[in-house]
Amino acid sequence: MAPKIEYYCPCLAESPYPPPPHLASSSYSFHALHNLFFCEECDAVRCNRCVLVEVSGYYCPNCLFEVPSASVRAEKNRCARNCFLCPNCRNTLTVVPSDPPEDVDSRMSPIVSTTLGEPPFFLYCNHCRWDSAEVDITFEKPTGLAAQLQKFEDSAPESLEFERLKEHFEPFLRASSSSTALPSASSHHVHTNPITAAASSALARDIPGVGKYNPLSRSRIGRDKAAHRQEYPDYKSRVEVGHAAALSGEVDVELLRHLETVGEVASLEQRWSNSWVTPLRASDLKPLRIPLQSKKSKRCPSCRHILIKPEQKAQSTRFKIKLVAANYLPAIAVTLPHAQAALEMMKRSSAKSVSAAAAAEEQQTAGALIAGHSYSFHLAFTNPLYDPIQIRLAKAVVPAHMTEDAEAAERARRSTFQIQLPSAAFPVGAFAEAWEYDDEDEDMFLDEDGVELLDARGKKGKDGRGKSRSVGIVDKRANVTIVSGEVLIPKEARGDVKFNMLVSYTYRSDDPEPSEEVEVGTPSRSHGTNKAPEMKNFSFYTVVDLGSIMYREEPKLTADL
């Protein structure tokens, strides 16, 4: 597994500190940079777990029809045109006409035998060859199929039964709500409905019939029950389960008893959204209308500013507003030089390697972190801003309020490996178009920070495992700076090499007017101001995952060299 880095969004925890990375729950707080947003008002990172989502438009993913929101409800969030899914494989169905008339060939499949005069159209799955004629669904004309099927949906047994149930309960609720209106008028608004009232009074009181203090209660209850029976007749089902032709229990049991293959029975996913008893057979499944999708705009949860807003048209993939974190935070890529070197070598020797599987395994072990060694890792920072930034790295501090035992456990785990990061700040060049970088840029910061700048090319040459002990800038060009860190894994270490890293960077703020408090401190990407540069600082947490430790001592690879 390649080493990776993820960025922290503090929305799940209340504390600004990230959770220790060895906790399984911590993975929910870290996100890839491309999934994050940045709120300029709050000067904070926002993730998909905390943003407020609003629907800005509905469309069908198949025909890209933009469905007006008025009809979304009636159509039950599904496409009401010609788009259907295969019930077996969820592929998109196509509308096909029946085969040409009988005179051409009459050694027919059952489909064509249904052909009478004008050819009916049916839905056909190009993947699994399912077609809707199997379930007796054919169409007179090839358009507006959903509308032609609408009548079936409207008369679906569950909705008819549902309406009947509603009619059955409505008079009763009306009656009882008028009787409870008096006591509830004076009381809390929450409990105005009769079921609630009934339920909560039942909770608050003794069970009917077991009350000790009221000798009358028993007979009263009896009378109540009788009265209740009279005024409230039993519900007569429209279709009783005992008579539902679809499921007479015996038939299903018999079907299953003589089942030959699993495929005969529809899978749970294919039938679980049916609220009405349906046949179990896979061959009885009906085509599904394609669910609509929505274009969503997202807002910052605290200041409600829009973070991202798509263009209305379903065909467009552009955004009207797009405040993504990738435009504000430096992108970080983490690599293990020794793994890469090993990969290179693997590629070179792959010609003579025995089998692909073995090579893959080799590859696994080559990039592994073996206990008892130390490795250097590279962090490549890419600056998206139009101004150069200064970055400083630090290991994340453990939150002070951690309880005793947790901290002990934490220390025990954390001490399995040691991380060294460059302590000094280092610069990353400004973003510009590729042709605007001069070669001289590279040397500009050479001795600026007192950080030793290693010769990148020279180092790459001898990049064996754990060879270079140095921590600092490795390479710097254009808007990318690569720094090197080191991880030292003791012999007894186990688990993943995963650590939290605090990245702070200083950038030039370009709106110095202090009128709007919130706006100050936003790393803005606009440029070309002549005012005195005001430096701002922004920090964020990341988790760096270098991979898991292998404790197999295997110097075989280097021997292969």
Interacting residues with other proteins between 57 and 96 (CB under 8 A): 58, 69-70, 72-73, 76-77
Per CB under 8 A, 276 contacts other proteins? yes
Q: How far apart are CA 338 and CA 368, in angstroms?
A: 9
Per CB under 8 A, 559 contacts other proteins? no
Task: Specify the stretch interacting with other proteins by CB under 8 A; choose among 204-212, 389-397, 495-503, 534-542.
Answer: 204-212
- Considering the complex, state which of residue 65 and residue 162 has its C-beta at the smaller distance from other proteins: 162
- Least distance from other proteins to the Cβ atom of residue 370, Å: 23
Residue 393, token pair as written in the block: 């790295």
Report in angstroms the alpha-carbon separations of 328 from 12, 225, 319, 497. 22, 70, 17, 28
The residue within the footprint of other proteins, chosen from 195, 444, 446, 535 (CB under 8 A), is 195
Mention every residue, 6+ apart, whose C-beta is less than 8 A from residue 531. 510, 512
Q: How far apart are CA 263 and CA 66, in angstroms?
A: 37
| Residue 435 backbone class (left: φ over 0; alpha: ψ -120 to 50; beta: rest) | alpha
The residue within the footprint of other proteins, chosen from 129, 228, 347, 411 (CB under 8 A), is 228
Task: Specify the stretch interacting with other proteins by CB under 8 A; choose among 14-22, 102-110, 127-135, 374-382.
Answer: 14-22
Q: How far apart are CA 310 and CA 305, in angstroms?
A: 14
- Considering the complex, state which of residue 47 and residue 497 has its C-beta at the smaller distance from other proteins: 47
Q: How far apart are CA 72 and CA 292, in angstroms?
A: 9
Per CB under 8 A, 33 contacts other proteins? no
Packed helices 157-185 and 194-204: angle between N→C axes, nearest 10 degrees: 60
Residue 55, token pair as written in the block: 């629907």
Q: How far apart are CA 450 and CA 426, in angstroms?
A: 9
Per CB under 8 A, 491 contacts other proteins? no
Per CB under 8 A, 500 contacts other proteins? no
The residue within the footprint of other proteins, chosen from 1, 25, 144, 495 (CB under 8 A), is 25
Cα 324-328-331 angle, rounded to 5 deg: 95
Task: Specify the stretch interacting with other proteins by CB under 8 A; choose among 96-104, 226-234, 332-340, 370-378.
Answer: 226-234
- Least distance from other proteins to the Cβ atom of residue 159, Å: 4
- Least distance from other proteins to the Cβ atom of residue 497, Å: 21
- Considering the complex, state which of residue 196 and residue 312 has its C-beta at the smaller distance from other proteins: 196
Per CB under 8 A, 252 contacts other proteins? yes
Phi, psi of 163 (to 5 degrees): -60, -40
Mention every residue, 6+ apart, whose C-beta is less than 8 A from residue 1. 547, 548
Task: Specify the stretch interacting with other proteins by CB under 8 A; choose among 116-124, 130-138, 249-257, 548-556.
Answer: 249-257
The residue within the footprint of other proteins, chosen from 79, 133, 277, 454 (CB under 8 A), is 277
- Considering the complex, state which of residue 435 and residue 457 has its C-beta at the smaller distance from other proteins: 435
Per CB under 8 A, 532 contacts other proteins? no
Per CB under 8 A, 15 contacts other proteins? yes
Per CB under 8 A, 180 contacts other proteins? yes
Per CB under 8 A, 208 contacts other proteins? yes
- Least distance from other proteins to the Cβ atom of residue 261, Å: 7
The residue within the footprint of other proteins, chosen from 45, 123, 133, 292 (CB under 8 A), is 292
Per CB under 8 A, 411 contacts other proteins? no
Cα 215-217-222 angle, rounded to 5 deg: 130
DSSP labels, 474-523: EEEETTEEEEEEEEE--TT--SEEEEEEEEEEEEEES---TTSTTTTT--
Residue 471, token pair as written in the block: 């921590």
The residue within the footprint of other proteins, chosen from 34, 127, 129, 218 (CB under 8 A), is 218
Per CB under 8 A, 267 contacts other proteins? yes
Per CB under 8 A, 52 contacts other proteins? yes
Site for other proteins, residues 346 to 405, rule: CB under 8 A? 357, 386-387, 401-403, 405
The residue within the footprint of other proteins, chosen from 14, 136, 492, 513 (CB under 8 A), is 14
- Least distance from other proteins to the Cβ atom of residue 462, Å: 36
Report in angstroms the alpha-carbon separations of 195 from 176, 177, 222. 9, 9, 21
Q: How far apart are CA 542 and CA 540, in angstroms?
A: 7
Q: Are strands 389-395 and 426-428 parallel, antiparallel or unpaired?
A: antiparallel
The residue within the footprint of other proteins, chosen from 101, 142, 144, 249 (CB under 8 A), is 249
The residue within the footprint of other proteins, chosen from 239, 331, 550, 557 (CB under 8 A), is 239
Contact 448, 390 (CB under 8 A): no
Site for other proteins, residues 159 to 178, rule: CB under 8 A? 159, 161-162, 164-166, 168-170, 173, 176
> Among residues 394, 391, 382, 454, which one has the least CA distance to residue 419?
394
Question: Across the strands, what pairs with 42?
Answer: none
Per CB under 8 A, 444 contacts other proteins? no
- Considering the complex, state which of residue 295 and residue 338 has its C-beta at the smaller distance from other proteins: 295
The residue within the footprint of other proteins, chosen from 34, 304, 411, 556 (CB under 8 A), is 304
Per CB under 8 A, 182 contacts other proteins? yes
Beta-carbon count within 10 A of 124 CB:
17
- Considering the complex, state which of residue 2 and residue 202 has its C-beta at the smaller distance from other proteins: 202
Give the x/- contact pattern for other proteins in 311-330, rule: CB under 8 A.
-------xxxxxx---x---
Beta-carbon count within 10 A of 107 CB:
5
**DSSP code at position 36:** -
- Considering the complex, state which of residue 14 and residue 439 has its C-beta at the smaller distance from other proteins: 14
Cα 106-107-113 angle, rounded to 5 deg: 65
